[in-house]
Amino acid sequence: MEPSHPRPLGFGIVGVGLIADFHAQAIAGLPGCQLIGVCGRNAEKTSAFARRHGDAFATTDLDALLARPGLDIVCIATPSGAHLEPALAAVQAGKHIVIEKPIEITLARIDTLLEASQRAGVKVLPIFQARYGEGARRMKAALVDGRFGRIVLAGAYVKWHRSAAYYEQSWHGTQALDGGGALINQAIHAVDLLQWFVGMPSDVFCWSTRRVHTSIEVEDTASAALRFPDGALGTIEATTAASPGWARRLEICGSSGSAILEDDRIARWDFRETRPGDEAVQPALADASLRSGASAPGSISHLGHQRQMQNLVDSLRSGAPLEVDGPAARKAVALILALYESARTAKPIHLGGSA
């Protein structure tokens, strides 16, 4: 007798903007999964999106999507400050959710969602695909193994370019829907990697400004100083006003070694004590599936999303733990909001246990 196979897991997508295409491509690459339906505000645009991705059910009515037979997981791809409402509706309908970064733009809205998901017993997968790259994982493993020794400096740098049209033709750059600018939208993956690598800082001080995109409501440039609980120091720099835009960079410097990660390529790997395999690390080619959108938001790949969604599928199929869950994603937002508060008040902010 042949073993039975579980039925396909059904996905839905709410929001049909640029990032939704990456979700749809990722779902198409997941074995045993299928796109059931999509929901957007504009009927014509939503129908066109559905036709591009297998002619899925298309609707402007979220309740109609949530009622579709076979729907298990809902991807939230709406603007950042409009994640909570459709996510709550999905959770209350008993659906697991995949939610784009940032999980939401205030801690109160994040906590409302996480508390509701816990009560409903459903899983929340926040998108932080940068953690799934080979380079990022090698850095994390070396840190866990103590190869860096005593951490001295830790920095995250996102010096990107966005055109005026990027802000003029969308919700980007608005406080209500973006929640901020270069920090919370473009730099959040770097901020997440930084705190994943070395932990949350205890104290931060930040300056922010609009250097080029002067018509937006939020910052296009920010620079911050960090102090970690053990005394290590750090830096975060972020902009969307730099031309042509460079790869995202993480630098970790310690008493026993230092390394640089550019997008997902290890650009420097220098340790006092070498180990077998070290010589092959730095020449390795960058993982193109984890490239960032330094010059254009559409230049990323869907494969990072696919790897992370596979983790959710494995969790639902076999009970594997989520590698990034809601509380983990909350940390990056808590850190960025502390930076915003510092920039607003021109004072250092002590994070303490608030994150």
φ, ψ for residue 55, nearest 5 deg? 60, 45
254-280 pLDDT, tens digit each: 999 999 999 999 999 999 999 998 888
40-96 pLDDT, tens digit each: 999 999 999 999 999 899 999 999 999 999 999 999 999 999 999 999 999 999 999
Render the burial of 99-124: b for 16+ CB within 10 Å, e for the rest.
Answer: bbbbbbbeeebbeebbebbeebebbb
Percentage above 70 pLDDT, the chain: 94
CATH number for 131-296+324-350: choose from 3.40.50.300, 3.40.640.10, 3.30.360.10, 3.40.50.720: 3.30.360.10
Residue 200 has pLDDT above 80, yes or no: yes
Q: What angle do CA 64, 70, 74 make, to 5 degrees?
A: 65
Answer whether 300's CB lies under 8 Å from 291's CB.
yes
284 pLDDT tier (thresholds 50, 70, 90): low
> Residue 328 belongs to what H/E stretch?
helix 326-345
User: Where do the structural domains in the chain lie, given as residue ranges?
Assistant: 9-126, 131-296+324-350
Q: 293 exposed, middle or buried (CB, 10 Å; 0-12, 13-18, 19+)?
A: middle
CA distance 315 to 309: 10
Answer whether 98's CB lies under 8 Å from 35's CB.
no
Answer whether 11's CB lies under 8 Å from 66's CB.
no
Is 131-296+324-350 in the same CATH topology as 9-126? no
Helix (H, G, I), strand (E, B) or coil at 260: strand
CA distance 167 to 174: 9
- DSSP, residue by residue, 149-189: -SEEEEEEEEE-B--HHHHHTSSTT-HHHHSSSIIIIISHH
Q: Is the dihedral of CA 100, 110, 217, 193 positive or negative?
A: negative
Return all residues near 186 (Cβ < 8 A) that are at least 6 apart. 158, 160, 162, 238, 240, 293
Residue 292 has pLDDT above 80, yes or no: no
9-126: CATH topology is Rossmann fold (3.40.50)
Residue 291 has pLDDT above 70, yes or no: no
